[in-house]
Amino acid sequence: MTSLDDLMAANARELTPLSILALGKAVMAATLHVPVTGAPAPGQGLPVTCVETSYGVALPAFSSVERLEAWKPGLKYADVPGDIVLDMAERMPQVAGVFLDITGAPGAWIPRSAFKSILAG
């Protein structure tokens, strides 16, 4: 298990402000795999796929291609630095948070309310 996996497991068990912040800091340094609907258009940004979850609308992101493939095989994706994923999600008002490894264990949730403090460093 990587440290990102450990932090996701802690977040899935506890979902406390401390577990969210620790996970967010690790995500900032990671490269995540984000499902997309196609190629980016100039001035439009990355066309990401969002999903409805029990937490609300989420931007799904995956810690590995294998976990993304386990969710939806053959899905198009982009490799995106974690800090960009959080920044992108923050600029999407319909998004309630980022859901990491949505169908796998451990899976983890970073709510919109934590974006600013995580991005602030």
Whether residue 40 has pLDDT greater than 90: no
What are 52-105's pLDDT values in tens digits?
Answer: 998 999 999 999 999 999 999 999 999 999 999 999 999 999 999 999 998 766
Which of 106, 98, 37, 33 shows the shortest CA–CA distance to 69?
33
Measured between its terminal Cα atoms, the distance across the chain in Å is 25
DSSP state of 63: S
What average pLDDT does this structure show over 21-34?
A: 95
Q: Domain ranges in the chain?
A: 3-119
Structure tokens at 92: 């999407």
| Collapsed DSSP state (helix, strand, coil) of residue 62 | strand
The CATH classification number of 3-119 equals 3.40.1350.90
Residue 1 pLDDT: 47
Element (H, E) at 51: strand 51-53
